[in-house]
Structure 1
Amino acid sequence: MTGFATGAFVDSLVWTAAVTVALMAVTFAFGIVAGRHNVVDTVWGLLFAGIGCTALVASRDHGDPGRRWVLAVLAGVWGVRLAVHIGRRSVGRGEDPRYEKLLRTGHADPLVNALVKVYAAQAALAFVIAAPLQVGAFVTGDLGYVAYVGVALWCVGMVFETVGDAQLERYRRRKKAQPPDTVTASVMDTGLWRFTRHPNYFGDACVWWGLFLVAAEHWPGILTVPAPILMTYLLTMGSGKRTLERSMVTRPGYPAYMRRTSGFLPLPPRKESAGADATRR
């Protein structure tokens, strides 16, 4: 690992871990006061913004300055936007059914149960997924074509996330404003949602593969590849797409939407044939 400040990098992990734990500790306290643990979803993006900024400061005498700043800024913009979006969306809502189901089993003390299964678990995940930010800040070598491709992929991801979230929010507001006796579509299937059932999740994956490419241009950034793989797995097979669709599939019109619309990658809608029952993954 020529040119990589291993000792300084290891020291920086202590600081990024401390920031992660501190943010989650504050969130846990706020969750107790609020009486709901889905507040952790709002802080999820801020964890990466905090880790990115901490890695930027900790690597100030090491690594390539351009890469350090690009990683910190991209992670910060993504994290803050996500936090604002989820925070605004959760105003006035109760506990997330996912957490209610998760916390039905486990430790007898409900607070200990929540601390371990919600806050500590997500803090650990964030610390691992943020590997490109932490390693990339100490990677030497100028920014090149691989990093530029990574930034472009990050931009694609941000467009899908931001536009997809905005389209869904407008749809929800229009539906809420209509009279109760008005027949409305029960599925959002226009805009980006016409080409993928989860433009926000697809955008999220693009963001993290983009950040990985920025870090992976020089050794040892390539070793952080498990981070975007893990994030993509969570989005498609973990708490993202799969969990959401278990509840959405009971909604009128959603099975048909699944049959004609790609589950993740943006693709042209499929024309439904009579009696079709296969869904697009």
Structure 2
Amino acid sequence: MAGNIPNAVMAFLIPLPSILFYLSFLGQFRDRSLVTAAGDDNSLSPLWIWCYQHPLLLANALFFLNVNLSFWIIGLLQSSHWMIDPYWTVIPLLLVHYYGSHPLAEYNLLRSSLVRFLTLIWSIRLSHNYFRREEWQWGAREDWRFTDMRRQYGKNWWWVSFFAIYLSQQVFLMGICMPFYIVHSKNKDFNIWDVVAALTCLAGIVIAYYADTQLHTFVSRNNELKKLGQPMVPCLEKGLWRYSRHPNYFGEQLWWWGLFIFAWNLGSGWSFIGALINSMCLAYVTRLVEKRMLEKDYRADAYRQYQKTTSVWIPCFKTTNSAGKDKKI
């Protein structure tokens, strides 16, 4: 708890350089009548002209400098790369507003407002789940996957971490958030496919929220049982977890595929690559999580049976009845 307040203050202050720089850039374009001639306006510095002409490159430059380098240095100083996790829930929200406010932005107001609102709800849900899991602390621990990699790479981890955690996540995040750019680069009438996309995104948010809440309740109860010296429940097989081994991942995928539908509706079907890579990454994470589950002796047998009877992602009815007694809470 001692580092909680300093970490919180640092987390709030660290994006300020990018935010202040971008606000200064926008200040050069208050008069939108100047926008169309920005490339020929000698009163603007070459830096502002470049920022105007290259919105995607600017977003990547700010990400590289203010996230990759800054977070990496802080992670090295603290021996914990915790900060990227809470910001994973915030960066998409910052990006959707960045693309929507850039002087070159062109969009349907209803579609843009809907996407911004849904992204806000998604960000609040994921942030709430993160801090609830971390018992409302800032920087209490880093992702267990980073800790495993730290042990794996040993003395080389200090430089490997820059590529494994930060540069790779820049490529990943900028890729899956490409629909935000597409939504704010094409002005097409709002139609039924926007409704389908919005409902898909909303369904993903709701499913992920309830799945994570049920998981949090399960973990909290098991922690209480452990403190009391009582046997812990090996598997969560109630609620959404009765029909899917990872309903939270399923909900998260619905969210990103819903964003893809927005982009596809605007003629950018190629943007499916971002959602597909996200699904592939979640498939890898699923393997890691299930491997950890099977490493616990008290739940290994029960979880193997759970694997045999329950879908990995897409919720559906169990294929067979569980052997032996079901242990549920």
Same fold (TM over 0.5): yes
Q: Distance in 2 between matches of 1:8 and 1:136?
A: 19
Quote how far apart the aligned CAs of 1:176 are.
1.7
Change in CA separation of 1:120 and 1:155 when aligned onto 2, cut-off 3 Å: same
Q: Deviations over 1:127-152 (max 9, x none)?
A: 11111111221122112111110111
> 2:127 maps to what in 1?
83
SS of 1:69's equivalent in the other structure is helix
Contact 2:247 2:313 in 1 (8 A): yes
> 1:68 maps to what in 2?
112
> 2:203 maps to what in 1?
156
Change in CA separation of 1:250 and 1:112 when aligned onto 2, cut-off 3 Å: closer
SS of 2:311's equivalent in the other structure is coil
Q: Which deviates more, 157-166 or 34-43?
A: 34-43
Matched, 1:15 2:58: yes
Quote how far apart the aligned CAs of 1:210 are.
0.7
Partner of residue 295 from structure 2, selected from 235, 250, 265 = 250
Change in CA separation of 1:268 and 1:150 when aligned onto 2, cut-off 3 Å: same
Matched, 1:27 2:71: yes
Quote how far apart the aligned CAs of 1:59 are.
5.7
Amino acid at match of 2:57: V
TM-score normalised according to structure 1 size: 0.84
Amino acid at match of 1:128: G
Amino acid at match of 1:67: R
Quote how far apart the aligned CAs of 1:18 are.
3.4
> 2:309 maps to what in 1?
260
Matched, 1:210 2:254: no
Q: Distance in 2 between matches of 1:210 and 1:186?
A: 34
> 2:180 maps to what in 1?
133
Query: RMSD of aligned C-alpha atoms?
Result: 2.7
Partner of residue 184 from structure 1, selected from 229, 232, 252 = 232
Q: How many pairs does the alignment contain? A: 267
> 1:198 maps to what in 2?
246
Q: Which deviates more, 225-234 or 60-69?
A: 60-69
Partner of residue 234 from structure 1, selected from 281, 287, 308 = 281
Partner of residue 170 from structure 2, selected from 109, 123, 128 = 123
Q: Distance in 2 between matches of 1:254 and 1:235?
A: 19
Identity %: 22
Change in CA separation of 1:230 and 1:94 when aligned onto 2, cut-off 3 Å: same
Q: With CA pairs under 8 Å and 6+ residues apart, which has the higher RCO, 1 or 2?
A: 1
Q: Distance in 1 between matches of 2:305 and 2:122?
A: 32
Which structure 2 segments of 5+ residues have no match?
1-35, 37-49, 325-329
Q: Deviations over 1:202-238 (max 9, x none)?
A: 001000111111222122x2221111111111112x2
Change in CA separation of 1:34 and 1:162 when aligned onto 2, cut-off 3 Å: farther
> 1:279 maps to what in 2?
none
Change in CA separation of 1:160 and 1:218 when aligned onto 2, cut-off 3 Å: same
Which structure 1 segments of 5+ residues have no match?
276-281
Greater fraction helix: 2
Greater Cα radius of gyration, structure 1 or 2: 2
Quote how far apart the aligned CAs of 1:13 are.
0.5
Change in CA separation of 1:16 and 1:169 when aligned onto 2, cut-off 3 Å: same
Q: Distance in 1 between matches of 2:254 and 2:204?
A: 5
Q: Distance in 1 between matches of 2:217 and 2:311?
A: 22
Q: Distance in 2 between matches of 1:175 and 1:204?
A: 25
> 2:39 maps to what in 1?
none
Amino acid at match of 1:192: L
- 4+ residue segments displaced more than 6 Å: 7-10
